[in-house]
Structure 1
Amino acid sequence: MSSPVKVAAVHAAPVFLDRAATTAKAVSIIREAAKAGAQLIAFPETYIPAFPVWAALWAPIDNHDLFVRMAEQSVAANGPEIAAIRNEARTLGVTVSIGISESSPVSVGLIWNSNIIIGPDGNVLNHHRKLVPTFYEKLVWAAGDGEGLRVVDTPVGRVGNLICGENTNPLARYTLMAQAEQVHISSWPPMWPTRRPKGGGNFNNVAANRIRASAHSFEAKAFGIVTAGYMDKALRDFLIERDSTVADVIDAPPRAVSFFVDPTGETLGDTLQDEEGIAYAEFDLRRCIEPKQFHDVVGYYNRFDVFDLTVNRKRLMPATFVDAPTEIGAIAMGERLQTSPDIQPAN
C-alpha cells in the first residue's frame, strides 16, 4: 500500500524583474519546503522574473520600458537560473515545478510564458510553453506549442501542468488526462484586473480558479495543486509610484489564492491568500482509483468511435536551415566516400 506524499504550493512574490535575486529566493524557498518534508514544490506562473500585470493597467505605448526590462530579465531554459534550480532539486532530492518568462535564442524580443518541471535527479522532465497568452498577456508573450503537453513520472506520481488560462482549455486538459495524470499543477498570477472599480463586475479570479481546479480534478480523478503569485509591498509601491491612479484598480480585485484539490473536487490541506508563504498538503494517490469506477473519461466512460483527438507535440521553430557544404566539408565527405568499405566512388 502506497503512503501519502507531501506537496507544496509556493505563494510568494518574486523580486520584481530581477531574475538573479528571484532565483536566489526560489532556492531559499525550495530549501524551506524540502526541510518541511515536501517532495514536490510548485511555483506560480512566471515566478522568474515577474508577472506583467502592467499590461492590464496602461496602454502599450506607455509600457515600452517595462517590456524591455521583462525581455532582458527573462531566462533561458538552459541558462544559469534554471541550472541553479536543477542543482538544488538534485541536492535535496525533490521535484520542482517553476514558471518562468522564457527568453529565446533566436530573438532578443521573443519571450514565452513557460513552465519547467525538474526531477529529483536534477533533470528537466518537461518544458512547456503556454499555448495562447491570455487577454493582455498577448502584448508581452508569444504563443507556445504542444511539445510540453506531457505528463511525467515522478516519485510523487504522474504530474502534469497547465498555465493559468490553459486550465480553461478542455482539449489541453484532456490531453493530460489521457496520459494517466495523477497530480495536476495549475499556476496563476497574483491578480487579474479586468475593469476599473467604477466599471463594476471585475472578473473574480478566485472563484474562477476554484471552479477550474475542482472541475479538472473531478474529471481527471486527480489531485490538484493551485499555486498563485503574491503581490508584495514592493510591487504595489512600484505600480502606484508609476501611476497613482491605479491604486484602486490593483486593490479592488481579490488576491489570488493557493490551495489544493482532491480527486472529487473537494479542497484539502493549507490555503494561502493574504500573506506570503508555502502551503502544504498530503496526497494519497490511491484515492485516484475508486472515482474512476464512476467516470473514467479516458477509459470506459468515453466513446472513442465518436470522438478522436490528435495532438501535435512538435516544437515550433522560426526557420529550417539547409546549409550548402563548405569546401572543407566537401573534401571530408569525399574522403569518407573513398575510405568507406561500404560505399564505392562513382565511376
Structure 2
Amino acid sequence: MQLTGDLPRFTAAAVQAAPVYLDAAATVEKAVSLIREAAGRGAQLIAFPEVFVPGYPYWNWTMTPVQGSAWYERLYRSAIDVPGPHVDTLRAAAAATGTTVVIGVNERGSHSLGVLYNSVLVIGPDGTLLGVHRKLVPTWAEKLTWTGGDGSSVRVHQTPVGPLGTLACGENTNTLARFSLLAQGELVHVSTYISLPVAPADYDMSEAIAIRTAAHSFEGKLFSVVSCSTISEEMIETLAADDPETAEAMRRPRSALSGIFGPDGRPVTEPLVDEEGIVYAEIDLGRCIQPKQMHDIIGHYNRFDVFRLHHDRTPRGPLEPSPEPPPAPLTGPWQPETGTGNPQDTAG
C-alpha cells in the first residue's frame, strides 16, 4: 500500500475475554456485542483472541491424548466453516459498525472430515472477508488438534487503518514469518493469544506476550495490537470439575495480557492482565516514520545482497494432480490394454 498524504490515525481496541466455551453461536453473539461496544467507544480496529470461536483445547495440556480424544470431537462439532453463517454474522457486525475486525476461530477443513485449523479472520469495515490466516505450526501440545496452514495466508492486508498483518500466539516468535509481514509493508500488527495457565511453572504467559509484542513493534517500528483470551469459571467447571489440581492450575494468575504497543516497543496505554475487558488506545501511523531513520530492517538497515528470505505463497492441499495427458488419436484397431485406437475399426 502506497501511503501518501495524511497517514491513518484511529482508535484501536484489544478485547480480552473468555468465549462461551464450545458454543460457536453464543460466542459469535458475544463477539458481536463486543464489536458494538468497542465501536461505540470510537474504535475502528477491533482485535479478538486466538480461537475465540468457540475456545481453546486446554485438554491437550491436562489429559492424555486418549482422554482428550472425545473432547477433540466435541471441539470439531462446535467449530465453524469458512465461509459460513457464523462468519456472515461477524461480517455483518463489522459492516454495521464500519470497523475492521480481526478474530481467531476454529475452522473446519472442507477437504477432510476431522481437520481443524487455528485460523484468524480479517474482516474489512464493509464486511468483506479480507483474509483467513491459518496458524503455520501448532505449538507443542496443540499438534494434537490442529493441522498446520501454509504460506499463502501470511499476508499484509490493505485496510483503512493501514497495512495490517496478523499471526497467532506462538508464531509471533517466528522471526521469518514476522519479517515477511514487515517486508510486505506491515504497519499494524495484530497478534492473537490464549490465556495459558497450564504452562510450565516457570513460564509467565503475560510476560511472554509482552516481550514478543514489544520485540516486533520495536524491530518493525510499527504498532501492535495484542488480544488474549481469559478463562471463565464455566470453562474450569467444564474441563476440571473432577480434577482439583487442574482446576487450581487453570486459575493461575498472570496468564493473559492484552494491550497496544507503539513503534518504540512500549505500551501506548496500560495493558490489561488476566481480567476481562477492552483496552483502547489512539494509533498515529505517523509515529512510525522517525524511528525508521535509525533502524529500518526492511530498508537501509539491512543487506539484501547478504541475507535473503524466500517466502513460498503456494496454497497447499492434499492433492496436486498432474496435468491431464492429451487424448490419443482414434486411429487403428482398438487396444483395450492402452485405451487407444477406434473401437469402430473392430466392428464386423
For normalisation by structure 1, the TM-score amounts to 0.89
C-alpha distance after superposition, 1:96-153 (max 9, x if no partner): 0010011011122100101010001111111110000001101110111111111111
Give, in whole Å, the separation in 1 of the partners of 2:54 and 2:26.
Answer: 9
SS across alignment from 1:207: helix
- For residues 325-340 of structure 1, the aligned pairs below 5 Å read none
Cα shift readout 1:250-293 (whole Å, capped 9, x = no counterpart): 23352201111100101112422232111111101100110000
Residue 317 of structure 1 and its aligned partner are, at CA, apart by 0.9
Shift of 1:249: 2.2
Aligned residue identity for 1:235: M
Residues of 2 paired with 1:35 and 1:11: CA distance? 17
Distance in 1, matches of 2:253 and 2:295, equals: 36
The alpha-carbon deviation at position 321 of structure 1 amounts to 5.3
Partner of 2:332: none
- CA distance, structure 2, for counterparts of residue 324 and residue 219 of structure 1: 48
Tell me if the contact between 1:71 and 1:108 (Cα under 8 Å) persists in the aligned partners: no
Are 1:9 and 2:21 counterparts? no
The reply on whether 1:51 has 2:56 as its aligned counterpart is yes
The DSSP-based 3-state class of the residue aligned with 2:268 is strand
Structure of higher CA gyration radius: 2
SS at match of 1:133: coil
Q: Is the 8 A contact 1:41 1:94 kept in 2?
A: yes
1:339 aligned partner: none
What whole-Å deviation, never above 9, does each CA across 1:206-225 have from its counterpart, x for those lacking one?
A: 11111111110001000011
Distance 1:3 1:112 in 2: 32
Deviation at 1:73, TM superposition (A): 1.0
Structure 2: which 5+ residue stretches go unaligned? 1-5, 326-348
Conserved? CA contact 2:259–2:272, under 8 Å: yes
Per the alignment, in what secondary structure is the counterpart of residue 160 of structure 1? Answer: strand
Change (3 A) 1:23 1:293: same
The runs of at least 4 consecutive aligned structure 1 residues that moved more than 6 Å come to: 322-325
CA gap 1:3/1:145 in 2 versus in 1, 3 angstroms: closer
Q: Is the partner of 1:252 in helix, strand or coil?
A: coil
Matched, 1:279 2:279: yes
Task: Tell me if 1:122 matches 2:122.
Answer: no
Q: Does 1:84 align with 2:69?
A: no
**Does 1:303 find its partner at 2:303?**
yes
Select 2:175's aligned residue among 152, 165, 170. Answer: 170
- Residue type matched to 2:33 in 1? S
Aligned residue in 2 for 1:21: 26
Structure-2 change in CA distance of 1:23 and 1:323 (3 Å)? farther
The residue type equivalent to 1:127 in the other structure is V
Q: Secondary structure at the match of 1:314?
A: coil
* Alignment partners' CA distance in 1, 2:240 and 2:104: 25
| Distance in 2 (alpha carbons) for counterparts of 1:72 and 1:321 | 30
How do 1:310-321 and structure 2 match up within 5 A? 310-320=310-320
Q: Is the 8 A contact 2:195 2:205 kept in 1?
A: no
Counterpart position of 1:35? 40
Maintained 8 Å contact 2:197/2:249:
no
Matched, 1:248 2:241: no
1:323–1:87 distance in 2 versus 1, CA, 3 Å: farther
Matched residue type, 1:83:
D
Cα contact 2:206–2:254 (8 A) shared by 1: yes
Does structure 2 conserve the Cα–Cα contact (< 8 Å) formed by 1:191 and 1:253? no
Instruction: Determine helix, strand or coil for the equivalent of 2:101.
Output: strand
Report the CA distance between 1:243 and its aligned residue.
2.2
The answer to whether the 8 A contact 1:269-1:282 is kept is: no
Counterpart position of 2:258: 258
Q: Which amino acid aligns with 1:9?
A: A
Matched with 1:334 is none
> Contact 2:107–2:118 (CA<8 Å) still a contact in 1?
yes
SS of 1:258's equivalent?
A: strand
- Partner in structure 1 of residue 155 of structure 2: 150
Residues 163-194 of structure 1, C-alpha deviations (whole Å, 9 max, x = no match): 00111100000000101111111110022423
SS class of match (2:119): strand
Q: Letter of the aligned partner of 2:316 in structure 1?
A: L
For the Cα contact (< 8 Å) 2:253–2:274, is it kept in 1?
A: no
Give the TM-score of the pair, scaled to structure 2: 0.88
- Distance in 1, matches of 2:151 and 2:210, equals 25
1:97 aligns with 2:93: no
Overall identity of the aligned pairs, in %: 45
1:193 aligns with 2:198: yes
**Contact kept in structure 2, 1:213 and 1:226, CA below 8 Å:** yes
Q: Distance in 2 between matches of 1:252 and 1:90?
A: 38
SS of equivalent residue, structure 1 residue 82: helix
Q: In the alignment, which residue of structure 1 is the partner of 2:338?
A: none
